[in-house]
Amino acid sequence: MIHTFTSHCEWRSNEAISNSRSPRSLSFAREDTISKPGYRVRQISILRSLSANLLLPVLILFALSPSIYASGLGGYTGTSNRFTSDPLSSGTGGITLFHQTSTNSYSQNPASKAFFGQRSFDAGLVQLSLDRFIYTVNAGVPLPPTASLSIGLIAAGTKNIEARDSRGYAAGDISDTEMTYLVSFSNRFSDKLAFGLSLKLLTKQFSSGDVDLDLKGSGFGAGLGFVFKPMAGSSFALAIKDWNSSYKWKTQDIFERGSSYQDEFPMSLSWGWLQDIGTVSLALEHDYYFIDENIYRVAMMWHGIQALQVNVGMSYEDESIYPGLSARYELSWKQGPPMHIDYGFKFGTPGEGYRNYIGWGVNF
């Protein structure tokens, strides 16, 4: 029987999971949960209930310095829905409220595709250290006369998590996988105003082929979004993200005296502004989480060459700046729809290096 699981990685240096939530949260971790060099590592585990003689598995977390606990997001699951997951947004500081700044904008602001007016397909992946992975795919179609529909998938997780038995010996590898299935609908009420609604099906699995473990959680979530164009070249966006999003767990089938519980995602309110100035576009976004956490993002996009768009941006979170750069190159064909290739990279926390993003898509 397994006492603890040792993870090879954490996703954010400022997202240590709180003791009150970590025994029940098999969270994927947030964007830059990499333990900083020199920080002390300790293990967190759940003791066996003497009366029930029950043994519960729990992740080993890299414990960080006390100042890191200033971030309240560490105690919450649903990181794959907050992670910068597409090439364009890696270079815009993670701004996802506008379709010009992210190919996954439909998942964060369902109204973002209302003024796009084209069918689209995009796929991408993120190259990460420590056996972490993120894959995305989505498609969108206009619904005449004024609506649009988008569907997509975000797959994320960590492989090769080392399991340990009660004596501390290796006991095989475990995988942590999150799948998010999304559908969003948007409608233009006028040439200046659009509204959108998104729904998501959430699943999370913690399993191993080496030990007897297959723990699954699932849930639903929703989001709302608005886009307002007060003047030519200007866009204001507002979105409510992860309303009622959570994982619901049931361990009765695994443990002798299992239980049911729920891990909630932190809901957030985001607003942003996009301004076109000739061949340059400026964008900003503020994400406010209802647990009193803030993230600020700014970006500049240059499209002075017809087939090339270059983006540079950064995010400010937990008193740290994380810059990034991305580019899109349009491929022209004599026949068939125009395609594009996206590439980006973003700097992570010290000791992590940077993350590589690559994507491919078509608009027609």
How far is it, in rounded angstroms, from Cα 62 to Cα 41? 5
Note whether 295 and 287 are within 8 A (CB). yes
What is the pLDDT confidence band of residue 30, given thresholds at 50, 70 and 90?
very low
Name the residue with tokens 């890299």.
Answer: 62
Is 252 a residue whose pLDDT tops 90?
no
How far is it, in rounded angstroms, from Cα 362 to Cα 343? 15
Note whether 255 and 54 are within 8 A (CB). yes
Write the single-letter amino acid at 311.
N
pLDDT digits (tens, 9 = 90+) for 180-238: 999 999 999 999 999 999 999 999 988 776 666 778 889 999 999 999 999 999 999 99
Average of per-residue pLDDT across 345-357: 83
Name the residue with tokens 């078509």.
Answer: 362
How far is it, in rounded angstroms, from Cα 90 to Cα 149? 24
Average of per-residue pLDDT across 3-30: 36
CA-to-CA separations, 50 to 43, 131, 261, in angstroms, rounded:
21, 36, 21
How far is it, in rounded angstroms, from Cα 120 to Cα 100? 13
Q: Identify the pLDDT of residue 4.
A: 37
Q: Identify the pLDDT of residue 343.
A: 97
DSSP string for residues in 56-88: ---EE-----GGGGG-GGGG---GGGTS--SHH
Indicate the SS3 state at residue 108: helix
Q: Identify the pLDDT of residue 210.
A: 63
pLDDT, averaged across the chain: 79
Among candidates 164, 274, 272, which has minimal Cα distance to 210? 164
- Sign of the four-CA dihedral 106, 111, 113, 119: positive
Note whether 82 and 100 are within 8 A (CB). no
Name the residue with tokens 């529909």.
Answer: 149
**Count of C-beta atoms within a 10 Å radius of residue 130:** 15
Q: Identify the pLDDT of residue 72.
A: 57
CA-to-CA separations, 24 to 76, 95, 242, 260, 275, in angstroms, rounded:
10, 31, 19, 10, 43
Give the contacts of 183 (CB within 8 A, at least 6 positions apart): 149, 150, 151, 198, 199, 200
More confident residue, 71 or 20: 71
Q: Which domains does the chain carry?
A: 85-363 (2.40.160.60)
Is 326 a residue whose pLDDT tops 60?
yes
Is 80 a residue whose pLDDT tops 90?
no
Maximum average pLDDT range among 50-59, 75-84, 195-204? 195-204
